[in-house]
Structure 1
Amino acid sequence: MLAEWQATAPPLRGLVLAGGRSQRMGQDKGKLAYHGQEQRAYAAELLAPFCQDVHVSCRPDQVVELEYAGLRPLPDTFADLGPLSGILSALRLDPNAAWLVVACDLPFLSETTLAHLVQHRQPARLATAFQSPENEWPEPLITIWEPASYPQLLRFLSLGYSCPRKTLINSDVAVLPAPAPQELRNVNTPEEAAQVRQELE
């Protein structure tokens, strides 16, 4: 029964969030290389086995450089909303698909963890997310957002909430314990980036 239900579930497309200003890092987090290639390309490759295609969310001024890098840019059509800009822009591009969204600053994220998320996807709910290792809240930047999340995200935005986590907390979503919580660590500062490089050596 589950297999039949998943077969009728909306198709899964991929989105790497790489349009942020990276102010704390002081340089573009998507261009940092921890695995011998830019992190935004590494994340896109991780998503590829699970999605019919993978886009990289970006600011309009990043489109050309992403195309040169062989990636598929998806420029934000909602400005200055942080990660929500990318998520909404993807759902606007294809509101009938579900979008597997990951942030570009997750150098420890593995295919195994993404496979776990996809295998435990619950298409009847608004989204399927991992629980944050730091608290009990859902982690919005490694999440499968179903088509039904689009109007709900817009509704919360109209109420003044631009944090996608706020929508997850107040909606019917599946929240999974992360199989490897350390993989959800994101990297925001030069010090954290240096630490990651040491750990990955």
Structure 2
Amino acid sequence: MAAPVLRGLVLAGGRSERMQTDKGKLHYHALDQRQHTAALLGEFCPDVRVSVRPDQAADLPAGLKPLPDTFLNLGPLGGLLSAFQADPNAAWLVLACDLPFLTRHTLEFLVTHRQPARAATALKSPWNDFPEPLVTIWEPRSYGQLLRFLSLGYSCPRKALINSDIELLEPPVPAELRNVNTPEERAQAEKELIG
């Protein structure tokens, strides 16, 4: 049986309250993080969308395809459910836009070890051994499970992964899963990445 097509989803619809500026617009590489993350996904996915709040869609740089949230005020889960609503038969490789250390190497590892028969293929967080939901391939069969968790009052995608049949992988380079959420973390990341 053929594996479902793999589409890419950049999660860029957050309010970035701790950062005090839009994390998707930050530059650690030649492009802003929305563009950089979409370019990484584009190496593995024929179609890449950027999950945004409806009011952000017009603000995306040229060349990026917005996927406005239809499930509002649910954080990353809202973006993921909106992606499945747009194409419930696809698997979605989901990446947060605040992962400036992530490289092609880690994504290639994730895609190579994908298990389409399971609900998802995820990397284990190096900080707490739980699945990292925002660097995960979510298979079509996880859509119904996510809706069920939401109906029970859970909006945390990590909880859904913990309670589902998933493939959990040790990340090849754990430090690449480090996300950047505050001005202090941003300054440190810039020092390390830009020099």
Residue 130 (structure 1) shift: 0.1
* Secondary structure of 2:94's aligned partner: strand
Counterpart among 49, 53, 62 of residue 55 in structure 1 = 49
Equivalent residues, number:
194
- Partner of 1:95: helix, strand, or coil? coil
Structure 1 residue 49: Cα displacement: 1.1
| Structure 1 counterpart of 2:87 | 94
Deviation at 1:70, TM superposition (A): 2.0
CA distance in 1, matches of 2:31, 2:7: 22
CA distance in 2, matches of 1:42, 1:136: 27
User: What amino acid is aligned across from residue 136 of structure 2 in structure 1?
Assistant: T
Deviation, 1:12, is: 0.2
Q: d(CA) in 2 for partners of 1:45 and 1:37?
A: 9
1:1-201 residue pairs with structure 2 within 5 A?
8-66=2-60, 68-200=61-193, 201=195
In 1, distance between residues paired with 2:31 and 2:109?
A: 24
Paired with 1:69 and 1:34, the residues of 2 have a C-alpha distance of 19
Instruction: Name the aligned partner's letter for residue 8 of structure 2.
Output: G
Which stretches of structure 1, 4 residues or more, deviate above 4 A after TM superposition? none
Q: Report the residue type matching 2:189 in the other structure.
A: V
TM-score for both structures, normalised by structure 2: 0.98
> Aligned partners of 1:180, 1:71: CA distance in 2, in Å?
28
Separation (CA, whole Å) in 1 of partners of 2:63 and 2:133: 27
Aligned residues with identical type, % of pairs: 69
User: How large is the RMSD of aligned CA atoms in angstroms?
Assistant: 0.7
Q: Which runs of 5+ in 2 are unaligned?
A: none
Where do 5+ consecutive residues of structure 1 fail to align? Answer: none
